[in-house]
Amino acid sequence: MGLLDIFKAKENERLNSEIEGLKKLLKPEHKEIIDLNLEIKNLKADKVKITENINSLLIDKTNLLKEIDNLKEEIIILNDELSMQEFGLYKPMYNYETSEEYRNNIEKVRNIQKTMVKNKSAVFFSDDWTVDGSKAKGRKMTNDNIKQILMAFNIECDNLIAKVKYNNILSIEKRIEKTFERLNKLNISNKVELNKSYLKCKLTELKLVHEFQVKKQEEKEEQKRIRAELREAARVKKELEEAKKNTLKDIEHFEKALNALDKQMSNDNLSEEELKSLESKKEELQNSIKSLNSDLENIDYRQENQKAGYVYVISNIGAFGKDIYKIGMTRRLEPMDRVDELGDASVPFNFDVHAMIFTEDAPKLENALHKEFENKKVNMVNSRREFFNVTLEEIESVVKLNFDKTVDFIKEPKAEQFKESLKIKDSLI
């Protein structure tokens, strides 16, 4: 320890001793004032620190709120179970007749993008860069920046377009636009910027891909409908052929019986009572043959008139509730066979028939009813689902006004199993 340090230590010791001596001379109230002033000074220092901390937290809060707002704008809605109120209804921009037309136009817009990338019209860029005084190195750097921004944008767009569905197309469109803006901001210092015409191509591709998917589904549904019609037509044809074959066989059988009866009646030895009995049998046979010939005429008519059939109005209150009716058509000889098919294991209860209308042009009447209640379809997307949310009175009014005033409608559905089920449930409570 040097002389200076020894001197400082002794001086500090002397001053501390002097301070302690002065403190002993202070009165108690003076000491209290000094302590209070010291405490006030410390509290003021704490207040400054707390205020600074609050201001810092407020700044952090403001920044976080801004970040949340920015993130909200970029969120893509991909949840299939969102309600209709949570996404906009997309209005188709293109109305191509087939999915193949959509496919061709998607290929065209992608080829336009490839051309724009190849000739560098997909971006704006500066060609006056130099690196280490070299323009060649500057051009290489610019080309690398162009590749980088296009690669990032294309990968993001491809991933988003691959996820497009009916409930997220508008959100994906916004996400693509945000990606476009974000990449352009990040590349300001590089003097490279994505062209808006390239963005437009990507958005066109998005819409074409979405509408292509919709059209493909429509075509699948149409093919399904055609196959169902062909199966129904084949079934009806077979049914009519079988019915005609059986009817002709029955007519032949009864005619043979009638011929045999005529021979029996030609016997002169018959009593009056026996002759009367044979005449009664002959009348029965003639009536049966007449009825069979009438059936045969009906079968021939149905074979010659492919549009003749039944339009049915049915309900299933236990499965679908009140005022939901299926309006369909069948060409079968026994139309209830079709109704029974519809009430198979796929629904909990059988259908009730409210009207079964025979007409020479069943498709025409069915289409007229479907068109009349177009805005009341339960399924607004798939026209093959022939259920309508209407009252029976509305259907009856349209039928009687445009087709036949004599058609009878059964107002109240039997719904026997449904009503019985309700009673059983009530008894269990």
**Both tokens assigned to 14:** 């002397």
* Residues 180 and 207 occupy one common structural domain: yes
Q: Residue 332: how many CB atoms within 10 A of its CB?
A: 18
Cβ contacts of 195-200, under 8 Å, gap ≥ 24: 195/116, 195/121, 195/122, 195/123, 195/124, 197/116, 197/121, 198/113, 198/116, 198/121, 198/122, 198/123, 198/153
The predicted structure's pLDDT at residue 99: 92
Which candidate, 372, 376, 369, places its Cα nearest to that of 407? Answer: 369
Query: What is the strand order of the sheet 324-330 is part of?
Result: 352-359, 309-315, 324-330, 387-389
C-alpha distances out from residue 424 to 345, 349, 379, 417, Å? 21, 15, 32, 10
Domain presence at residue 205: yes
The predicted structure's pLDDT at residue 127: 83
User: Lowest mean pLDDT: which of 51-65, 133-147, 203-217, 325-339?
Assistant: 51-65
* Residues 212 and 276 occupy one common structural domain: no
The predicted structure's pLDDT at residue 195: 95
The predicted structure's pLDDT at residue 78: 42
The predicted structure's pLDDT at residue 278: 84
Domain presence at residue 16: no
* Residues 202 and 255 occupy one common structural domain: no
From 304, 338, 361, the end of a domain falls on 304
* Residues 296 and 339 occupy one common structural domain: no
Percent share of the chain, pLDDT over 70: 88
Residue 382 CB contacts under 8 Å (≥ 6 apart), including other chains: 221
* Higher-pLDDT residue of 35, 349: 349
The predicted structure's pLDDT at residue 26: 60
* Residues 315 and 422 occupy one common structural domain: yes
Rounded to an integer, the average pLDDT of 312-337 is 92
* Full domain range(s) for residue 258: 234-304
* Residues 110 and 166 occupy one common structural domain: yes
* Residues 381 and 268 occupy one common structural domain: no
For 183-229, the pLDDT digits (tens) are: 999 999 989 999 999 999 999 999 999 999 989 988 888 888 788 88
The count of structural domains within the chain is: 3
For 190-199, the pLDDT digits (tens) are: 899 999 999 9
* Residues 338 and 260 occupy one common structural domain: no
How long is the chain? Answer: 429
* Residues 300 and 315 occupy one common structural domain: no
Query: pLDDT grade, residue 181 (50/70/90)?
Result: very high
E strands present in 14-156? 123-125
* Residues 317 and 287 occupy one common structural domain: no
* Residues 125 and 209 occupy one common structural domain: yes
